[in-house]
Structure 1
C-alpha cells in the first residue's frame, strides 16, 4: 500500500502546519478554550479561505474533490495543534452525509455553504445509557403529514452549540435495537423544540446534550431512505472513528516530541534524564505506538476512499480505532509519567494532549467496542 504523498497533498500538509503554527500556539489555544464560545470565528474563516472545509466537497459543487485520505492529513496536523474548531463534524461527517444521503437539491444547496464556511454541522446519534451501540436508537420520528415529528434526547453531541444543522438518527419503525427502522434526518439546530444543555469537556472542547420535543421536519430532511438508514449511519460512524484516529496521531506525535525535548533538558544527578536507558526505551515505545496508529489510520482512510466492499471498510475502520484508542492511552500515560508533576499543570501543554487523547479514546467507540466488532465480522465471514 503506497503511503507517499502527492505534490498537492504535501502542499496541503504544509499549509495546515503553517496555520497551526501561526494561529494555535499553546497559550492562544488555552485562552480560546476558556473563552465563552470556545472557538474562533476568525480561525473558522481562515480554514474556509484555505479551502480545507472543501476538501471532501465534490469539484462540481465548488470543492476540492479530495478523499478521506486528504481529510486525514488535515486532521493529523489539526490534532497536533489541539485545534478546537469543528472541522471533523462539518468537513467530514457533514459533507459525507450530504454526498451519500441528501436529496439532490438539498445537497447542492448546502455543500457550497460548507465550502464557504457558512455552515457548521453536529452529529447527534449517541444517547444516554446507550454506550457505543450503533443501532440502539430510542429517539422517535413519527409520521406527521408529509414529514415527521422528532422526540428524544442525544448525549455528548460535539460542538452542538456551534452547529447550524444536526445530523440526527431516529427510529421510524422497529424496536430500539433493530437495525431496520432507523432513519437519519438533517435538522436545523435552531428549530422549534430543539434545546441544548451545553458544557465544556475535559479536553477544553464543547459538547451538549440535545433534546428534541415535537420537532417538525419535512421529507426533504431525510438522509438516505426512510427505515433504511442503518448502513449510512454505520458509514458515518466509521468515518468519524477514522477521523478522530488521525487527529489522535497528530496529538501523539506532538506529545512525543514534547516529551523527548523535556527528557533532554531535565537533569537528575547532574545529567539529562534522556541519558537513562529505561527512559529512552519508554520514549521509543511511545513513538512505536504512534507510528503503528498512523499506519492503521491511513490504511483505514484509504479503505474508506477506495474500497467497494462495505465489510472491508468497516473492518479497516474498526482495526484502526481499536488500536488508536489503546495507543492514545498508553502514549498519554507514558508522557505524564516521564514528565512527572509538571505534566498535569494547566500551564503546560502535555496534560492538555493527554486529556484530548483520553476523550478520543471513547469517541465513536473505544478499544473493546471495536475489538468486538472485528470478532463479529470475522465470525460472520467464517
Structure 2
C-alpha cells in the first residue's frame, strides 16, 4: 500500500504547515487562547482563504475534499501548532449538514470563513453514548422548539449556528427518535455559560428553554455517528502531529542536556525509553492511517477502525506525554516550555469523543455484532 499523500494533499499540508510556522508560533497561540473569544477570527479567515476549511468537505457541499486523508493532512498540521480555532466543531457540524443535504448556502458561508459552526451533542449524563440524548424537541404548527442542556461545547458562545441533537421521541439510549436541528446565535431561550478549557480555547454549557430551531434531520443517529467517525479521524491525526513534536523536542533535549560531562541521551536507559516512545507513536500513526482509509467504508469497518485508532491514541498518547515530561524533569511542567502544553493537549485528546476504555468496549461489541 502506498502511504504517500496525493500531490494536492501534500501541497495543502505544506502550505498549512508554512503558514502556521510563520504566523502561529506558540506565543501567538497563547495570546489567542487567553482571549475572550478563545480563537482568532483573523487567522480563521486566512486559513479559510488558504482552503483549509474547504478541504474538510466534498465538492457537492462546495469544498474540495472531505475524505479521510483530507481530514488527516489538515489536523496533523493543526496538532503540530496546537491550533485552537474551531476546526473540530466545524467538521462535526458541517459533516452533519453535508450528509443531511439542503444546507449548501450555510455550508458555503462556513467554507468561506464567514460563519462558524458548533456541534452541541454531548450531555452531562450521556457518558460518550451517542444515543444518550435527553434534550427534547417539540413541534407546534410546523415550528420546532428545543428544551434541555448540552455540555462542554467548544466555542459555544461565539458560534453563529449551533447544530443541536434533541429527542423527538423515545427515551435516552433509544437509537431511534433523535433529531438534528440548527439554532441561530442569540435565539430566544438560548443561554451559554462560557469558560476557558484546560488545554486552550473556550467551551460552554448550553441551556435551551423553548428555543426556536430549524429541523435538519429526523433520523439523526446515523448522521451523528458518521460525523463523530470523521471527528475521531481528525483527533487521531491531530494526536500524531502533537506526538511528533513531543518526540522531537525530547530528542533535542536529550542531545543538549548534559550530566557527568556527557549528553544524557548517551545513557542507554533513556535510549531504550525513547525507542519505546517512538515505536508507540508509529503504532498510533498506523492506526490513524487505517482509520482515515476506512472512513468511506461500510459502517462496521469504519466504526471499528476509528475506535481502534482512539484506543491506540489514548495509550500511546499517555505514554508519550508522560515520558516527555519525565525525561525533561521539572522543567517539563513549566508554562514557559512549549512541551508542557503539547503534553496537556495530547492527554486531553485521549478523552475527547470517548476515552480508550469506551472505545475498546465499543470495538469488541462491534466485532461480536458483525
TM-score range, shorter chain: over 0.9
CA distance in 1: counterparts of 2:250 and 2:92, whole angstroms: 33
Residue 191 (structure 2) pairs with residue 198 (structure 1): no
**Aligned counterpart, 1:68:** 68
TM-aligned CA deviation for residue 259 of structure 1: 0.8
Gaps of 5+ in 1: none
TM-aligned CA deviation for residue 61 of structure 1: 4.6
Residue 325 (structure 2) pairs with residue 326 (structure 1): no
TM-aligned CA deviation for residue 66 of structure 1: 4.3
Paired residues, what number? 370
Contact preservation (8 Å) 2:168, 2:179: yes
CA distance in 2: counterparts of 1:336 and 1:75, whole angstroms: 24
CA distance in 1: counterparts of 2:208 and 2:182, whole angstroms: 13
Q: Secondary structure at the match of 2:153?
A: strand
The normalised TM-score by structure 1 is: 0.94
Match of 2:205 among 203, 209, 213: 209
**301 and 341 in structure 1: CA distance in 2 versus 1, 3 angstrom threshold:** same
Residue 367 (structure 2) pairs with residue 378 (structure 1): yes
**Aligned counterpart, 1:87:** 87
Contact preservation (8 Å) 2:144, 2:215: no
Bigger Cα displacement from structure 2, 29-38 vs 360-369:
29-38
Q: Secondary structure at the match of 2:151?
A: strand
**Aligned counterpart, 1:280:** 271
Report 1:287-302 matches (<5 A).
Answer: 287-302=278-293
Residue 231 (structure 2) pairs with residue 249 (structure 1): no
Contact preservation (8 Å) 1:241, 1:365: no
Bigger Cα displacement from structure 2, 54-63 vs 321-330:
54-63
In the TM superposition, what whole-angstrom CA distance separates every residue of 1:96-118 from its partner, at most 9, and x where no partner exists?
A: 1111013x2xx121121012101
Which 4+ stretches in 1 moved above 6 angstroms?
A: none
CA distance in 2: counterparts of 1:362 and 1:320, whole angstroms: 13
TM-aligned CA deviation for residue 234 of structure 1: 1.2
**Aligned counterpart, 2:230:** 239
Bigger Cα displacement from structure 2, 293-302 vs 255-264:
293-302
TM-aligned CA deviation for residue 178 of structure 1: 0.7
Match of 2:328 among 319, 339, 345: 339
Instruction: Give me the CA root mean square deviation.
Output: 1.4
TM-aligned CA deviation for residue 130 of structure 1: 2.2
CA distance in 1: counterparts of 2:123 and 2:286, whole angstroms: 32
CA distance in 2: counterparts of 1:324 and 1:332, whole angstroms: 11
Residue 195 (structure 2) pairs with residue 222 (structure 1): no
Report 1:1-382 matches (<5 A).
Answer: 1-90=1-90, 92-102=91-101, 104=102, 107-217=103-213, 221-224=214-217, 226=218, 228-304=219-295, 306-307=296-297, 309-381=298-370
Q: Secondary structure at the match of 1:331?
A: helix
The normalised TM-score by structure 2 is: 0.97
Contact preservation (8 Å) 1:171, 1:181: yes
Bigger Cα displacement from structure 2, 27-36 vs 348-357:
27-36
Gaps of 5+ in 2: none
CA distance in 2: counterparts of 1:375 and 1:28, whole angstroms: 43
TM-aligned CA deviation for residue 78 of structure 1: 0.6
**287 and 318 in structure 1: CA distance in 2 versus 1, 3 angstrom threshold:** same
CA distance in 2: counterparts of 1:170 and 1:277, whole angstroms: 56
CA distance in 1: counterparts of 2:50 and 2:289, whole angstroms: 23
